[in-house]
Amino acid sequence: MAEYLIEECSMPAERVRAETSSRTTEENLRFSHRILDEAGHQGPYVVATSRYHAFRAALLARSLGFDDEAIGGPTAFYYVPSATLREFLAILSYRKVWLAVSFLPSLAFVVLLVRAAVLSS
């Protein structure tokens, strides 16, 4: 993504830092802030990630108290459907109350549809 920022987004190379030791998006955001803060830069920062992942990265940054902006780089088209589903589920896992609130009415709706189908046959 550092290469993408420099070559495709015309970001000056001296303004780009790559964080390479994290295992999760949350770690990446925390470690990146530490690197940039120690280098004397001041946020908010631009977070470069995959196009499908930008929304979740921005949400996570906000939940960590960062006022960063997330931009998405190109993603191979064949990867978009599965990646979008994964991101959707990950966002729901952050919001367990939303998951519970949306799951129960959805389950009730499915039960009603199945019951209506059984009764009509």
The total number of structural domains in the chain stands at 2
Q: CA neighbours within 13 Å on the CB side: how many for 80?
A: 8
Q: 86 and 30, same structural domain?
A: no
Q: Which of 6-15, 19-28, 43-52, 87-96 has the lowest mean pLDDT?
A: 87-96
Domain end call among 75, 92, 110: 75
Read off the pLDDT of each residue in 23-34 and give the average, rounded to a whole number.
93
Q: What is the pLDDT of residues 46-101, one digit of tens each?
A: 888 888 889 999 999 999 999 999 988 888 888 888 888 888 888 877 777 777 77
Domain range enclosing 4: 1-75
Mean pLDDT, the chain, rounded, equals 87
What is the pLDDT, as a whole number, of residue 64? 93
**Residue 66 contacts residue 45 (beta carbons within 8 Å):** yes
